[in-house]
Chains A and B, each alone.
Chain A
């Protein structure tokens, strides 16, 4: 069982056994999108997300 820690909030995330390179996974705690950029070793990066801005 592969796990990674969220880059935003440090929550432990359990990866599916069939996770693929460039797959986007979602942190169950903070909801941030994370991209799996490498499978061996498992490496993730923050993926771009839509920002909210109601001030315009």
Chain B
């Protein structure tokens, strides 16, 4: 069995990692660290893991060597500790935003401060298999993904790969997000009377995840607008793009079929019957699937491209486990076969 440990396991992404890795057939969780919950049973923070995991949160200072380390620390922490952590494991998957961007200047522009370990930026591979599978397979250090960036990148991936997009026109992506994106630490905006029933645009443009989309695709003008909605889990990205004149609806079907066949966790949802005609995050809760959909106005060439995910799964921990499978040369879907629930 491959030994793994999770650094900073008391947050939501950490909890999802423990859940997924507890049922993974080829790994054994060695330690889950947490300073704030030191000595407590893991299930006392993640109640769904009662009778699943008998682990207690351990002291990060007493970290033992393992094969793979998952870092689920608050943003900004991994870059301070990376040199020491790298001495504990040959492979690291960092779920934070610290090593997602390759260039120091890009990090400073979008995160508003210098990077503490810029020499490590080039050592990490961006951990979204759908755009980086080959590089991840040979990488020792892989970054996590931003959930909103993941939904945005996957929403437009088929048309970007097929070069259908009119590059002179801007791309606008409207993103509806659930409350778990905000993490396990409360803030005034997450207080129940303030958050419940909300439809609140909290970032019209300039959200940090925009940088990951720009890094993935050479796009001059792209805007991501974030709106908090009354969900716990889930992201729905709705992209508006202008296609080249010659692109037809059948061309799009071909492009989407190709992308969904190449990627085991991408599904095309473009139904003409029933109520689930387009991607919807609700049925993806707990699942690593990303559902893609599209609608083309053939008169104008205006495309609406959609992607729904569970932000804690495909947008964080699920993709991290998918990356581990690739790094280890295992079946990419191992431990990730839960299809979600319906009804929910």
Residues of A within 8 A of B (CB): 8-11, 26-27, 29-33, 49-50, 52
Contacts and interface: CB of A to CB of B under 8 A. Distances in A.
10 A-B pairs with the lowest CB-CB distances in the bound complex, closest first: A32-B272, A31-B271, A9-B253, A31-B273, A10-B250, A31-B272, A30-B272, A10-B253, A30-B270, A49-B272
B273 A9 contact: no
A50 B275 CA distance: 11
Contacts of A9: 249-250, 253, 270
Given A29-B253, A31-B272, A31-B274, 12 more contacts: A9-B249, A9-B253, A9-B270, A10-B250, A30-B270, A30-B271, A30-B272, A31-B271, A32-B272, A32-B273, A33-B272, A50-B273
Contacts of B257: 29
A10 B272 contact: no
Interface string B257-281: 1000000000010111111010000
B254 interface: yes
12 contacts: A9-B249, A10-B253, A10-B254, A29-B257, A29-B268, A30-B253, A30-B271, A31-B271, A31-B274, A32-B273, A52-B275, A52-B277
A27 B273 CA distance: 10
Contacts, number: 32
A52 B276 CA distance: 10
A35 B272 CA distance: 15
B254 A8 contact: no
B250 A49 contact: no
A31 B268 CA distance: 12
Nearest to A52: B277
Interface string B224-258: 00000000000000000000000001100110010
Contacts of B249: 8-9
